[in-house]
């Protein structure tokens, strides 16, 4: 393409067209930022797991004082995974089991933005810590609603 008589090869022509199209229909930065944000937002709501068992559920009112002394057992499920959770009575320990086993990592998120990564063993079990209102996420697969030991769940 250095002189008028040069006939561009297919490759040169395609590269030239690529550059021209990039000028004609550039990708807006806002769209790119939204694509980046998929990471922080954890994908779509499809990941959100449904609560299907709660040891507090039948008698939530009873737990006025039970909050600090009894563990809360929860089961969440979405299309990909089922997660059994025990929020231990010590106010901190979180025990869980992911079914089917396979995912290697779960994160425990707190309301103040702290994220703790916990390894899942070969049997799908994990043990971590999280006080107060927390949320569990299996990256790319499942996220729970916000939960707490005393049942004062928030959304």
Partner 1 sequence: MTPSTVIQPGGSAEDRYADLVATYPGLVRRALERDESAWRQLVDSLSGVVWKTVNSFDLPQSDREDAYSSTFFKLFEHLSSIQEPRKLPGWLATTARNEARTICRKRQRQTPVADLVLADVNSAALDEAMLDDELTRATLTAFSTLSARDQNLLRLATAVPPISHKEIAELLDMPLGSVGPTMGRALSKLRAAMHGYRTGGTS
- The residue to which tokens 């299907």 are assigned: 52
Question: Quick one: which of 85, 135, 68 has its CA closest to 107?
Answer: 135
Find the shortest distance in angstroms from Cβ 20 to partner 1: 4
Looking at the Cβ atoms of 114 and 152, the one nearer to partner 1 is 114
Looking at the Cβ atoms of 23 and 61, the one nearer to partner 1 is 23
> Which token pair is 52?
């299907």
- What is the b/e burial string over 26-50, where b = at least 16 CB atoms within 10 angstroms of the residue's CB? eeeeeeeeeeeeeeeebeeeebebe
Find the shortest distance in angstroms from Cβ 67 to partner 1: 31
Find the shortest distance in angstroms from Cβ 104 to partner 1: 8
Looking at the Cβ atoms of 79 and 90, the one nearer to partner 1 is 79
Residues that bind partner 1 (CB under 8 A): 4, 7-11, 13-21, 23-25, 27-28, 30-32, 34-36, 38-44, 46-47, 103-105, 107, 115, 117, 139-141
Looking at the Cβ atoms of 34 and 152, the one nearer to partner 1 is 34
Question: Quick one: which of 107, 95, 96 has its CA closest to 139?
Answer: 107
Find the shortest distance in angstroms from Cβ 76 to partner 1: 17
Q: Where would I find the beta strands (DSSP E) of 44-90? A: 50-54, 72-77, 82-87
């Amino acid at each position: 393409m250095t002189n008028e008589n040069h006939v561009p090869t297919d490759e040169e022509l395609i590269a030239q067209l690529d550059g021209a199209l990039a000028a004609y229909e550039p990708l807006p930065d806002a769209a790119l930022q939204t694509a980046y944000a998929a990471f922080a937002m954890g994908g779509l709501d499809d990941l959100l797991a449904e609560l299907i068992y709660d040891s507090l559920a039948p008698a939530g009112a009873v737990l006025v004082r039970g909050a600090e002394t009894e563990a809360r057992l929860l089961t969440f499920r979405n299309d990909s995974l089922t997660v059994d959770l025990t929020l231990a009575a010590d106010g901190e320990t979180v025990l869980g089991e992911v079914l089917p086993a396979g995912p290697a990592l779960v994160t425990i998120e707190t309301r103040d933005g702290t994220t703790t990564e916990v390894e899942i063993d070969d049997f799908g079990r994990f043990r971590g810590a999280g006080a107060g209102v927390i949320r569990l996420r299996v990256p790319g697969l499942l996220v729970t609603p916000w939960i707490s030991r005393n049942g004062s769940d928030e959304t």
